[in-house]
Structure 1
Amino acid sequence: MRVLLVDDEPLARQRAARLLAELDNITVVGEASNAEQAISEFERCRPDALLLDISMPGMNGIELAKRLGEYDPAPAVVFCTAYDEYAVAAFDTHALGYLLKPIQRDKLAAVFSRLSRLNQAQLSALAALSEDTTSSGPRQQLCISSAQGMTLLPVSAVRYFYADNKYVSAVHPEGELLLDESLKELEDEFADQFIRVHRNALVALVYLQGIERVGVGGYRVRLQGMSDGPHISRRHLPAVRARLSARA
């Protein structure tokens, strides 16, 4: 992955470059100290991703991210900043990572490992979502606090939501992330995209491929991109079958 560093502090750029050099399959292809230089460098080397400071003189990092989001293909953006109050505004640009300074190597590695698993078509699709930040409809991204910091997960990547006691997880092909929302809240917001299959599970309709038997009298959903899907309760089995029949 080819990365452009953008930070008005030379020492911060040096530290970031040193940490990125320790990661596999990462190459720093340019540096910039402000937004104007960053745009010029981006057009010159067309990096896959930016490690971007937020607080800079002139155009700040958030404004720059929105500007670069107009390019096709748009780069992935990982913000780094000394101020955590920028988190919500940063994710409004559909950044794929958010790191606090001083950057920690393990968190930097976790963010870029996640980016390396996204192909260019996915990155472009995520960047295109930045045009819809004023929409009053359901969210297109889930902003999640995890051990790796703040994470942005596209709703379109979620195969199913699963409740286990007090916790709800968003399950996707690369793993799962814990949410701070109830299954009922998610069901209400994403009623057109997910279907209830069990009291503890909502499944993405777009990935619903079929039903398979489990044991004696049990059923579970078959989902695209997943080896196992959640179980279907007897109460919700007719609705799931009706959805599948409607597609036939």
Structure 2
Amino acid sequence: MNILVCDDEPLARERLSRMVKVAGHEVVAQASNGFQALEQVRLHRPDVVLLDIRMPEMNGIQCAQALLDLDVPPAVIFVTAFDQHAIDAFNTQAIGYLLKPISQQQLENALKRASKLNSAQVNSLQQHANASESPDRPARKHIAARTHRGVELIPIENIYYFLADQKYVTVRHSGGQVLIDETLKDLENEFHDRFIRIHRNALLAIPYLEGLEFVGTGQYQVRCRGINERLAVSRRHLPQLREKIHHI
């Protein structure tokens, strides 16, 4: 892929450029702020922009938002020393958020995800970005989670269930599980079209709902397609779940 590296620190740009080349990709241009990045993107049409956040004149968030106005925007991967900008970054449809100092493997994993971003997905991201400007903002397409690898994006369609435990929520997805600092109620309100409440501490993805199992003494558990785990179903939510299964 053709890649643009944008960072206001020359040494950081050079290090990233070397890592990109080791990964087998080409650095077509460099920039030291958002304005320069926009100019270089228009000149070179890179597939991916590796973008710092804190920069003079135009920061990375502003630059990424401006990139969305292009007919076919490049994929954006933020590379920054600051994790507090993650939510703002993902609202610009960035596909990655790496925390400095990044490793060669982290960069290659992020670039591998970027290489799977086909034109249909780009168009979908653009439509989502335009829709997010309206008062009735649609649900997110990803969940952001802080892990030992940095900040990860978990596609909503890959999530089996949300399980609350004290102040955190476990997100069980096709690649494993992560913890997020969000409430189950907020998640239920945002993703009510895709997830159904099965217990006071659990939301299940409707596409992965496989069936119910009776476990005795009036207790039921739900089978989840794709994994062997079973989740408890409360009596309060059993009627709604039965109705949903009947219409699948």
Q: Same fold (TM over 0.5)?
A: yes
Trace 1:180-191 onto structure 2 (pairs within 5 A): 180-191=181-192
In structure 1, distance between residues paired with 2:208 and 2:67: 35
Equivalent residues of 1:183, 1:200 under 8 A apart: yes
* 1:120-159 map, 5 Å: 120-131=119-130, 132=132, 135=135, 139-140=139-140, 141-159=142-160
Deviation, 1:65, is 0.7
1:5-44: CA deviation from partner (whole Å, max 9, x where unpaired): 1224332211001223333xx5134122144443344345
TM-score by length of 2: 0.75
**Deviations 1:142-171, CA, capped at 9 Å, x for gaps:** 332111222333445433213467652222
TM-score, scaled relative to structure 1: 0.75
Q: CA deviation at 1:53?
A: 1.9
Which segment is superposed worse, 212-221 or 2-11?
A: 212-221
Identity %: 39
- RMSD after superposition: 3.5
The yes-or-no answer on 1:30 pairing with 2:28 is: yes
Q: Deviations over 1:178-225 (max 9, x none)?
A: 1123434433443343102345431223x24542659899653444xx
Q: Match for residue 72 of structure 2?
A: 73
> Does the CA contact (< 8 Å) of 1:221 and 1:232 recur in 2?
no
Counterpart secondary structure, 1:159: strand
Residues 2 and 178 from structure 1, CA distance in 2 versus in 1: closer, same or farther, beyond 3 angstroms?
Answer: farther
Q: 1:161 to 1:230 in 2, by over 3 A?
A: farther
Q: Provide Cα deviations, 1:91-119, integer angstroms capped at 9, x if missing partner.
A: 33132222344444454345445545655
Find the counterpart in structure 1 of residue 196 from structure 2: 195
Aligned match of 1:58: 57
Cα separation, 2, equivalents of 1:181 and 1:133: 23
**Structure 1 unaligned spans of 5+:** none
SS at match of 1:19: helix
Q: Is the 8 A contact 1:212 1:222 kept in 2?
A: no
Q: Displacement of 1:136 after TM fit?
A: 5.9
Structure 2 partner of 1:220 = 222
Q: Number of matched residues?
A: 242
Partners of 2:116 and 2:229 in 1: CA distance = 22
Q: Do structure 1's residue 108 and structure 2's residue 102 form an aligned pair?
A: no
CA shift in 2, pair 1:5/1:199, >3 Å: same
**Separation of aligned partners in 1, 2:169 and 2:157:** 17
